[in-house]
Amino acid sequence: MARSLQAQQRELLFTAVDASDQIVMITGADQRIVYVNGAFTRVTGYTPDEALGRNPNFLQGPGTSEATRVDLHRAVEQGQRVSAEILNYRKSGEPYWVDVSIVPVSDRTGSIIHWIAIERDITARKAQEQETARLAMEDHLTGLPNRRAAEARLQVEFSRARREGSAFAIALVDVDRFKLVNDQYGHHAGDLALIHLAKLLARNMRSGDWIARWGGEEFLACLHALDARGALIAGERARKLVRGQPVKLPQGDLSLTISAGIALCGPDSDSLDAVLANADALLYQAKQSGRDQVLCAGASGGRRRTPIWEGSQVQTALREGRVVAAYQPIVDLHTGDVVGEEALARIVGSGNAPIPAGRFILAAEQLHLAAAIDRTISQRALERVASPDKNGNGGARFINLSAQFLGEPEHVSGLLRQARALGLLGGDANPVVIEITERQTGELAVLYRQLKPLVDEGFRLALDDFGSGNASFMYLTDLPMSFVKVEGWMVGRVAQDPRIRRLVESIVNTAARFELKTIAECVETSESADVLRDVGVDWAQGHFFAEPQLAQ
């Protein structure tokens, strides 16, 4: 009776296993298949006769992970149960994924006599995961790789370049005046334009080169095996291609132009970020210089050569501590006495020659490095004020702070912490003067809030580049200024042009009514100094008096 019940239970168990929708496979201790259920045949396409006596690894193929194979083999060799997700292949050659659990079966002596593998078909789930991953790495509008995918591919390209000693070019491409397309024709037209450009540029990539949507109306292209001249030619070809093939819109044909900045990346490149920064700086220069042009680092023969200091060099100089302060004396035009000094940013180049800010400040602003430069220079300047043996010429100490610096409260609070630690706050009159430029953008109310913590601690304010725009008088009325610095272009012409002389004179009179001191910048000749003195300018600085000197 008991045996009959056991037989019934075995028959019931066999029926349940065979009817299961999960694959059940049993092997002997030698890992040869001795049993497969019905699900095995339904999933793999192999009949029991085709599977019995074979090692289960006959289901594996070229796409099966070698690491997973090794893990499974190691567990079986050690007699341990193991789980994994593995890619197998059906009899038809079609791949499928399973989640497999393998457990050993031992006899009374502890010897393994069988292995049971239970496999769940997860092909649909894997396909969904792969589709999700693909969508996460694909730009939904253009179908190109998105920025995330491009960054990953660039890391692979950068590693290969270093490993193999090869080089490639990175081109950042931007659609000119794209905002006008959206404003005039609507965002749907803008989308059609981007799709058109993506297809056009992708179709004309060489084999092995690739393009991605970097963001907004900006694309990134990776070009292999090209020197600077070849990269420039490729960029020009793309520019002309876009210009010659307008996008078809319901409203009619729309002609587009592009600007591009190209930088080379090789085994000696400092970092991928530095190369991207260089390309971005060149793109910025191309846009600022009139658009519809291609600029390439190290290449001549473009539509216009770039005078910009390569952005990557600014980053490298900051990292290597080669951004330093140079100090230019400020003199009283009426007594000749030195009454202050201005801290100016310089980069120490080859041969320790200082590179003036005009060579790198545009790149620094475009790459959002201006705040880092300001932080470096302001730290050195405050140390100089506080140190008795580095006190320079005494008097007022002028420090330039950019909108990027003032826009970050932690930068301002950091400057105040340093000034407090150096004993520059809470005592006698604070000698430090913060220079802001009339060219700084944004609401004056916001700028005032940014400056207020400094003003409250006794820092005075100077308006630099007075006369460079139409906001000058608003700055004087809405901000607590102490100094006005006359724009250099006026100073350079004041001795020759009576109209400029009258203009400077009116600035002096206005400043006097506001009880502000005037400072003339960029004084290069004795004639200019004499005229400035005659019209009532208080102080002056420039090469006529003294060139900026690096701190010793």
Give the list of residues 6+ apart from residue 471 with CB closer than 8 angstroms, or none. Answer: 438, 444
Nearest to 17 by CA among 114, 122, 88, 117: 117
Phi and psi torsions of 213, nearest 5°: -85, 115
Cα Rg for the chain, rounded, in angstroms? Answer: 36
At 237, list the tokens: 């070809």
Residue 302 DSSP one-character state: S
| 342 in catalytic set | no
Give the list of residues 6+ apart from residue 527 with CB closer than 8 angstroms, or none. Answer: 495
At 506, list the tokens: 């009116």
3 state DSSP class of 78 = coil
Residue 138 DSSP one-character state: B
Cα dihedral: 408, 411, 414, 420 (round 10) = -100
Q: Where are the alpha helices (DSSP H) in 246-360?
A: 272-288, 311-319
Q: What's the full length of the chain, in residues? A: 552
CA distance 507 to 513: 10
Query: Cα–Cα distances in Å, from 114 out to 33, 57, 77, 110, 249?
Result: 10, 16, 13, 12, 69
Give the list of residues 6+ apart from residue 358 with CB closer than 8 angstroms, or none. Answer: none
- Residue 346 and residue 548 in contact, taking contact as beta carbons nearer than 8 Å: yes
CA distance 458 to 424: 9
Nearest to 532 by CA among 473, 492, 479, 483: 492
Nearest to 249 by CA among 313, 190, 331: 190
The residue annotated as part of the active site, out of 119, 157, 217, 438, is 217
Phi and psi torsions of 209, nearest 5°: -80, 160
**Beta strand 539-540 pairing with 323-332:** antiparallel
- Residue 365 and residue 404 in contact, taking contact as beta carbons nearer than 8 Å: yes
CA distance 220 to 198: 11
**DSSP E strand stretches across 438-523:** 460-466, 483-486, 517-520
Phi and psi torsions of 64, nearest 5°: -70, 135
CA distance 259 to 283: 7
Maximum alpha-carbon separation in the chain: 128
Query: Cα–Cα distances in Å, from 21 out to 103, 151, 224, 391?
Result: 19, 42, 50, 85
- Residue 363 and residue 311 in contact, taking contact as beta carbons nearer than 8 Å: yes
Residue 390 DSSP one-character state: G
Q: Which residues are catalytically annotated?
A: 217
